[in-house]
Amino acid sequence: MRLYWEQPYASTFEAQVIEAWSEGGAHYAVLDQTLFYPTSGGQACDTGTLGGVAVEEVLEENKATGRIIHRLAGPLSPGERVVGEVNWPRRYRHMQRHTAEHILGQAFLRAGGWQVVAVNMGSALCTMDFDHPPHEPTLRQAEALANWAVYANTPVRSYFIAEEEVPTHGLRRAPKVRGSIRVVAIENWDKVACGGLHVSRSAEAGPIKITKYERYKGGTRIYFVAGWEALELFDQEHQVLARLGEKFSTGPLELEKPIANMREAWYKVRAENAALKDELAERIMRELLLEFPQKTIQAQVPNLVLDSVGKRLAEWPGVLALLVAQAEDKARYVLLKHPSRPEDLEALWAQVLKPLGAKGGGSLVKLGVLPLAALHQALEGFQRHLQPKAPPSKA
């Protein structure tokens, strides 16, 4: 027996375990009656406890048998009498979402003749898909209408009708089920077939806020929050805006201008920084070429321009170079040569840098890191290694 339809506001109940079994490490139970709502119709199932054991998921086997299966964290025994407790804050939020969905469905119908195609209420941010493309004025009007329906605070009732009675009941859309049909009616507002759980007055579903919309499959997908979850989202967003406001010494609603100003300033600084780095890299490269006329170069350069100096030098015919830079607690290096140099870069790396603990790779340009302590040893090692092949000094 489905207690949840009769007593949607109850959160504890007693029941007898009719069947219980374990399978693949999970435990299951079927009860003679239950308050646990099973996942269906876009509404997520209840969670809670049964005889002190956590209820992880509740599923309806199929409409025909109506068997409701509780998946549990531990085993129960057939015949056992148990007290069930539904996670009420979760359940109530689901009831609010579900009622808000009905209210919005009718609001969109009235605002623009839009019909609901699909809904998803699996998380606080629910979605509804409609059969019309996005139209901002319709969305705004529907949201306003929905909240008027909330403030009207009319009763929400559910009852069953026979399939044959459907045409005379003025339902918002044709029911998907057959036989005995459960109608959920929000007085003076909406009537639709639904097997879900709802609050008992429209006011309990509010406020209703559409947070986002997008074009979806030729129609519109809206995202909405309702009830406590709308308030919680408002609170979170307000806190973020208030903190940002403090940083910019302004109110939450005046934040756009200082942020736009900062972005503009940042783009300018970034462009200037890139230009300055380019210029610095170019100058350092020229200086190194003058300082090392044989084009066998070893030098420490600022970390900021290590890569770009390396790239520039690698394009210079006759160059073989080891550049190092200090980067916080380590050293970075670039070992490179122009294709015109005969040296074996791999061997040079293996003999000079590898013994110092270098990591990294590459063929014509080797990039990597070194322990900071090895920075000068690397430069000396490079010079020593290449000395025999260097032309005799004038001294």
* Closest by CA position to 74, among listed 52, 100, 94: 52
196 binds Zn ion (CB under 5 A): yes
97 binds Zn ion (CB under 5 A): no
Closer of 84 and 196 to Zn ion (Cβ): 196
Whole-number minimum distance, CB 43 to Zn ion, in Å? Answer: 7
Closer of 169 and 341 to Zn ion (Cβ): 169
- Segment near Zn ion (CB under 5 A), from 63-71, 81-89, 134-142, 195-203? 195-203
Whole-number minimum distance, CB 194 to Zn ion, in Å? Answer: 3
| Residue 263: how many other CB atoms lie within 10 Å | 10
Strand 126-130 versus strand 156-162 pairing type: unpaired
- Segment near Zn ion (CB under 5 A), from 140-148, 172-180, 189-197, 376-384? 189-197
Whole-number minimum distance, CB 158 to Zn ion, in Å? Answer: 9
Whole-number minimum distance, CB 193 to Zn ion, in Å? Answer: 9
Strand 330-337 versus strand 320-327 pairing type: antiparallel
Contact positions with Zn ion (CB under 5 A) in 331-390: none
Please tell me whether residue 279 adopts helix, strand or coil conformation: helix
Q: Which of 30, 31, 69, 194 binds Zn ion (CB under 5 A)?
A: 194
Closer of 56 and 60 to Zn ion (Cβ): 60
- Segment near Zn ion (CB under 5 A), from 91-99, 150-158, 258-266, 318-326? 91-99
Closer of 8 and 196 to Zn ion (Cβ): 196
Please tell me whether residue 367 adopts helix, strand or coil conformation: strand
Peptide bond into 167 cis (omega under 30): no
Whole-number minimum distance, CB 47 to Zn ion, in Å? Answer: 19
Residues 141/111, Cβ–Cβ less than 8 Å: yes
Binding residues with Zn ion: total (CB under 5 A): 3
98 binds Zn ion (CB under 5 A): yes
Question: E strands, 131-189, where?
Answer: 156-162, 180-186
Whole-number minimum distance, CB 65 to Zn ion, in Å? Answer: 22
Name residues whose C-beta falls within 8 Å of residue 53's C-beta, 6 or more positions apart in sequence. Answer: 27, 72, 73, 74, 75, 76
Provide the token pair at 378. Answer: 């690397």
Residues 388/351, Cβ–Cβ less than 8 Å: no
Closer of 159 and 328 to Zn ion (Cβ): 159
Q: Which residue is nearest to Zn ion (CB)?
A: 194
Cα–Cα dist 158/195, whole Å: 9
Cα–Cα dist 282/387, whole Å: 27
What are the backbone angles phi and psi of residue 164, rounded to the nearest 5°?
-65, -20
Closer of 86 and 100 to Zn ion (Cβ): 100
Cα–Cα dist 40/42, whole Å: 6
Closer of 174 and 290 to Zn ion (Cβ): 174
Closer of 171 and 322 to Zn ion (Cβ): 171
Match 């009830």 to its residue by tokens.
Answer: 227
* Chain contacts with Zn ion (rule: CB under 5 A): 98, 194, 196
